[in-house]
A and B are shown apart, each in its own frame.
Chain A
Amino acid sequence: MTSMPSNVATRPRKSIDGWRWVGRLFLALMLFYTAVPMIWMLITSIKSGFAAMQFPPQWWPNEPTLASYYKLLDPTSSVGNDFLRFFWNSLFVSVSTTILAVIVAVPAAYAFSRFDFPGRKFLFFTVLLRNMFPAVIFLVPLFILMRLLGLVNTHGSLVLTYLTFGLPLAIWLLKGFYDNIPHQLEQAARIDGASRFQAFILIVMPLSAPGIIATAIYSFIGAWNEYIFAYTFLNKNDQLTLPIGIQRFFSENTTDFPGLMAASFMMSVPVVVLFLLLQRYFVRALTEGAVKH
């Protein structure tokens, strides 16, 4: 390497610059690809039902209106009543899934990382085994299982299902975190007067907070957006979650596009807010271990 003539050394830098521009172009395209539907959703949501159907489309509505939002958020109207209930159902299922995922994944990942128990390797790989199959494969078996458990048409069936899919990755992600926390920190804490459990709660948990937050976001989003299982397991109107509920805006003769778009927009709000608040930790969590500290 050192014997390389100096003019060669400048060439790779040039090609990196070229790649950087290609990369930027790619990112710009991706941004366009993801942002335009979002923007179109927003614009449509503030149109009147008539304006939404016009062709050529109005790029910006002549008479912007928040009527769809008022309608959706008005608990006295039947649409608003439904929407708010679906929203609440989704929130309940997602938050329950998230809390349970964290409660189970944190100690499980810690155990995989720190303790040497019989069957540890086997268990850890069975955790991954689930991820080798597409989720739809489990649709019918899980439905049968839920029927046996008497959980069909309950939110419990969804929480349980989302946990089966979310936990493996959560445990895997968190284990990586615990592997990176030196054992000596816990040993120091134990010598400083903490019990093993206190050392975990007071020293290890705060250090793995980014991982726990990432796990939580991941579980929440997974549960919030899930459609196919919710569609299969639930069929009582008052239990539907948002992704299924929104479907009701489609009807045979008229589809209330502004209403549909307004509902979609409001459905994306919790995820976006969550992400904006915690993205710092999320990125840190996913790149953790990539660089040696």
Chain B
Amino acid sequence: MAHVVLRNLVKTYGPHTAVNNVSLTVNDGEFVALVGPSGCGKTTTLNLVAGLIPITSGDISIGDRVVNDVDPKNRDIAMVFQNYALYPQKTVYKNLAFPLQMRRLPRDEIDRKVKEAARVLDMTHLLERKPRELSGGQQQRVALGRALVRDPAVFLMDEPLSNLDAKLRVQMRSEIKRFHQDLEATIIYVTHDQLEAVTMADKMAVMNGGFLQQYDSPAQVFNHPVNMFVASFIGSPAMSLIPLEASSANGRTVLTGEEGWSIELSPHNARKVERSTTKKVVLGARHSTIKLSTSPVPGAIPAKAYTVEPTGDITFVQALLSGAVVNISVPPTMPVAPDQPIWLEFDQERMHLFDGATEMALEAD
């Protein structure tokens, strides 16, 4: 196992910059998820680490070695691809044996390692089959086996679960997590699914437009998003972002909505708003931090239920405030109907404030 360091990594395709000055450190034994929408540069970053495409500038080190110009085969990495990339003409056994044969291991050792990997992944009975005779989940397992049989320094995984159906995905998610815990492997995992990143990773690197937006633990990213993109990308349903107008008078700071309502901010939040470059401030609130009442409450914001989505153990209510859709979760026992008047209260402790111009999170100090 080894740590991986990216320093000022850049990859350009003609005028287009796919990866823009990305720097991050993956510690030994850490599970890091690269997460972002399609086209954000996360897969390109992974391919750069793998050495499948040449870097434009910057450095990549695996262990203590700079590998910028090292062939993929000499980087001591293993990769799991989105479409598994199993060799169709080879049996499962031969798929697993291929990386070992390429390293010229003695035949009996190859046999021992392949059988061990098959045992760990519970696919001993599949060894003589061809990949096309396997289900999606089994193929996925073989792909994982082919990576693990070699005992590489770093595992690279490119959306390994996105071709599986929902149920299998959840199952394989916990298996990969277990696999990481047992092996204490260094894993770089690319996904567009923020839930996968949040549930599996020790740290997540949120990317957008080729830039690294935030690199931190999932809890930290969830609770302290650095900008509006991260805030809206992480968490489901997404954090509601409401554009408001800030004003101060007589030592009180107030945010006013398009509809004319206003919230008086706590002193802590008021200090945050003072740092904004403009009067435009965006209020961010997760669904669980907004309190909904069906009768008037002093100081609460009047609104109207737009849609009501019961999911079973929780019901999501959506309302429109200042032109933004606001998500609120309520217990399923609460009777809310569409178009019904509702009153909303924001939790001052757990609300997020963003600069309306720079879209960056506002901090008190």
Contacts and interface: CB of A to CB of B under 8 A. Distances in A.
Given A184-B81, A198-B102, A191 B73 contact: yes
B50 interface: yes
Interface string B40-82: 0000000100101000000000000000000111010111011
B98 interface: yes
A207 B71 contact: no
A182 interface: yes
Contact of A207 (B78, B85, B88, B99): B88
Contact of A190 (B73, B88, B89): B73
A159 to B, nearest CB: 32
Contacts of B343: none
A192 B156 CA distance: 12
Nearest to B158: A184
B72 A190 contact: yes
A195 to B, nearest CB: 7
Q: Which 6 A-B pairs have the closest CB atoms?
A: A193-B102, A192-B99, A184-B85, A188-B85, A190-B72, A193-B73
Interface of A: 182, 184-185, 187-195, 198, 203, 206-207
Is chain A's binding surface mostly helix, strand, loop or mixed?
Answer: helix
A194 B89 contact: no
**Interface core residue of A187, A188, A195 (most chain B CB under 10 Å):** A188
B102 A194 contact: yes
B88 A191 contact: no
B52 A203 contact: no
Contacts of B50: 187, 191
B89 A184 contact: no
Contacts of A198: 102
Nearest to A196: B71
B79 A191 contact: yes
B89 A206 contact: yes
A185 B73 contact: no
B232 interface: no
B52 A182 contact: no
Given A190-B73, A193-B102, 4 more contacts: A185-B88, A187-B81, A188-B79, A195-B73
Interface in B223-243: none
Nearest to B74: A193
**Interface core residue of A184, A188, A191, A194 (most chain B CB under 10 Å):** A191
Interface in B120-166: 146, 150
A188 B103 CA distance: 14
Nearest to B82: A184
A193 B81 contact: no
B73 A192 contact: yes
Interface string B92-119: 0000001100110000000000000000
Contacts of A195: 71, 73
A182 B85 contact: yes
B194 to A, nearest CB: 24
B254 to A, nearest CB: 56
23 contacts: A184-B85, A187-B50, A187-B52, A187-B72, A187-B81, A188-B81, A190-B52, A190-B71, A190-B73, A191-B50, A191-B52, A191-B72, A191-B73, A191-B77, A191-B78, A192-B98, A192-B150, A193-B73, A193-B99, A195-B71, A195-B73, A203-B87, A206-B89
Nearest to A199: B73
A229 B73 CA distance: 49
B81 to A, nearest CB: 5
**Interface core residue of B77, B79, B85, B87 (most chain A CB under 10 Å):** B85
Nearest to A193: B102
Given A193-B99, A193-B103, A185 B87 contact: yes
Contacts of A189: 87, 98
A44 B24 CA distance: 83
Contacts of A193: 73, 99, 102-103
Nearest to A184: B85
B83 interface: yes
Nearest to B77: A191
Contact of A192 (B47, B52, B82, B146): B146
Given A192-B146, A207-B88, A182 B73 contact: no
A25 to B, nearest CB: 37
Contacts of A194: 73, 102
Nearest to B152: A191
A280 B352 CA distance: 66
Contacts of A207: 88-89
Contacts of B103: 193
**Interface core residue of B47, B72, B146 (most chain A CB under 10 Å):** B72
